[in-house]
Amino acid sequence: MTLLLRKSSAQARIEGWDPSNRSDDDYAVVDDTIVGRIYREMIIGKPKWRWFLQQIPEAGPGRPVPPPPRLLIMLEPGR
């Protein structure tokens, strides 16, 4: 699997979000979709790199997998 680091401001434009509130030290981790984020943040007066991974809940008894957020937005007007 190959993951890409893309500036969050560029990913925001692709996703249709407002790119103006993204710093230069903010990156989206992308496969076919956004899988995480890496960014720099001041912690106790020192810059530290932080990262997180986004997860989609697994299906299970009584827990169907919810549609991705973009799909949910597209489905809402049709209701």
Half-sphere exposure of 27 (CA within 13 A, CB side): 14
| In the chain, where the domains are located | 4-78
CA dist 12 → 42, 51, 69 (Å): 23, 17, 14
Region 58-77 average pLDDT: 54
Q: What is the pLDDT of residue 69?
A: 54
CA dist 27 → 22, 34, 72, 78 (Å): 9, 10, 24, 33
Distance CA 19, CA 46 (A): 25
Distance CA 54, CA 30 (A): 11
Q: What is the pLDDT of residue 54?
A: 76
pTM (predicted TM-score)? 0.60
Q: What is the pLDDT of residue 65?
A: 60
